[in-house]
Amino acid sequence: MEARPLATPEEAWRIASSLRYRHIEGTVVAVVQDVETKEVLMVGHMDPIAVVLTLTTGLAHYYSTTRKRIWLKGETSGHYQIVKEFRSDCDGDAVVIKVVQIGAACHTGSRSCFESKYSLIKALKLSLRHG
Amino acid sequence: MEARPLATPEEAWRIASSLRYRHIEGTVVAVVQDVETKEVLMVGHMDPIAVVLTLTTGLAHYYSTTRKRIWLKGETSGHYQIVKEFRSDCDGDAVVIKVVQIGAACHTGSRSCFESKYSLIKALKLSLRHG
Contacts of B33 in chain A (CB under 8 A): 38, 40
Q: Is residue B45 part of a domain?
A: yes
Residue pLDDT tens, chain A, 131 long: 789 999 999 999 999 999 999 999 999 999 999 999 999 999 999 999 999 999 999 999 999 999 999 999 999 999 999 999 999 999 999 999 999 999 999 999 999 999 865 566 766 454 555 54
Q: Is residue A27 part of a domain?
A: yes
Q: Is residue A103 part of a domain?
A: yes
Which residues are CB-contacts of A22 (< 8 A; sequence separation ≥ 6)? Answer: A28, A93, B24
Q: Is residue A2 part of a domain?
A: no
Question: Where in the sequence is the domain holding A124, given as residue range(s)?
Answer: 9-130
Q: Is A1 on the interface with B (CB under 8 A)?
A: no
| CA B51, chain centre distance (Å) | 11
CA separation for the pair B34, B99 (Å, rounded): 5
Q: Is residue A93 part of a domain?
A: yes
Say which of A33, A89, A106 has its CB closest to residue B43.
A89
Q: Is B32 on the interface with A (CB under 8 A)?
A: no
B72 is in an annotated binding site: no
Express as a percent the part of chain B with pLDDT over 70. Answer: 89
| CA-based nearest residue in chain B for residue A43 | B94
Q: Is residue A4 part of a domain?
A: no
Residue B118 pLDDT > 60: no
Q: Is residue B4 part of a domain?
A: no
B29-A21-A71 Cα angle (round to 5): 80
* CATH of residue A92: 3.10.20.810
The candidate with the shortest Cα–Cα distance to A77, out of A106, A113, A43, is: A106
